[in-house]
Amino acid sequence: MSVLVRGVERRFGASAALRAVDLTVAAGEFVALLGPSGSGKTTLLRILAGLDIADAGTVSIDGEEMTHIPARLRRIGFVFQHYALFRHMTIFENVAFGLRIRRKPPREAEIVQRVTGLLERVQIAELARRRPDQISGGQRQRAALARALAIEPRLLLLDEPFGALDAEVRKGLRRWLRDLHRELGLTSLFVTHDQEEAMELADRVAIMRDGQIVQYDTPEALMDRPINAFVAGFLGDAARLPAEWDGTALHFGGGQLPPLPASALRLAPTRPGPAVAFIRPHEWSVMVQEETNATVRSRHPVSRGVRLELSIGEHVVEVELPATPLRPGERCQLGATAARAYDVG
């Protein structure tokens, strides 16, 4: 099922939660809404679900206008951050709930068959007779997802589905959810503040700020070519350094760093003058030689090698290398291999 959002606005008193939001989601796509707190992510998700009403704009699902259709008639599955399971019901009864309250519920034998199949699919069939307080957080989230899938939704919405879980459980569930999404061919949108989660799960990511979508693209495009300084600074680790662009080279680091030619810039400013440069940890070169411009402040291992914290003048940058003999207190020559640079003002 495809989703089309056009000009959606939502205000709470004098505050604009959403401002003229446009969004297109293709059938079978997995889209993440990513942004800082208060950027409008959950509000947009609730409007899609029919749990909130837009002040302006339209929402269509598979070509059908949904703007004034009640939530109960939209056939949308919604997974909340804190599960929202009924504590007095067993896991089986929780998953069956949406089927039993329909105007024309399936026969009991069909309900049992569907719920049993879903619990097997989400790998908690053995927990069917337990209550939510008798299982782990990760298992409760699987139960919440099974309940959302029980009504055979045409659209699945997830609001920070792993936010209440510890890091190790989140990683396992992320992989599992991605595989399940592909297997079922669902169209899904999920809200997250976790950049790693968005980049790992989503086909496309909408970066939100102040009630607007700033950039909407694939994870690879967002990381490689962020549209502005906000997106560049929000996504991943990056050193932010004042710079000067003369039209052919970028000068930064207070003159202590070698200038970068235009060919090394993934994005260049639009005009000569003051600029801001973003360099990711893996986009630095570090050489041990007589001529030096930086001092190692700290060193610690990471999954892909070693991360150094270096001071150069008044700036501190993080550098990621496969290996290095450098230790805290030692000097080295630091230079950038690539950068993204934006106009100031």
Give Cα separations from 4 to 53, 173, 340 (angstroms): 16, 28, 32
**The pLDDT value given to residue 141:** 84
Q: In whole angstroms, how far apart are CA 280 and each of 123, 273, 285, 321?
A: 39, 22, 11, 12
User: What pLDDT score was predicted for residue 218?
Assistant: 97
- Please state which CATH number belongs to domain 237-343: 2.40.50.140
The reported pLDDT for the residue numbered 22 is 98
Length of the chain: 345
Amino acid 255: pLDDT = 86
In this prediction, residue 20 carries a pLDDT of 96
**What residue ranges in 40-154 does DSSP mark as E strands?**
56-61, 64-65, 76-79
| Contact indicator for 137, 144 with CB cutoff of 8 Å | no
- For the chain, which residues make up each domain, given as ranges? 3-229, 237-343
Distance in angstroms (rounded) separating the CA atoms of residues 9 and 57: 6
**CATH architecture assigned to 3-229:** 3-Layer(aba) Sandwich (3.40)
Mean pLDDT in order along the chain per 10 residues (345 residues): 94 95 96 94 95 95 90 87 83 91 83 91 91 90 87 88 72 80 88 89 96 97 94 92 96 92 95 96 94 96 93 94 95 96 89
Q: What is the pTM of this model?
A: 0.86
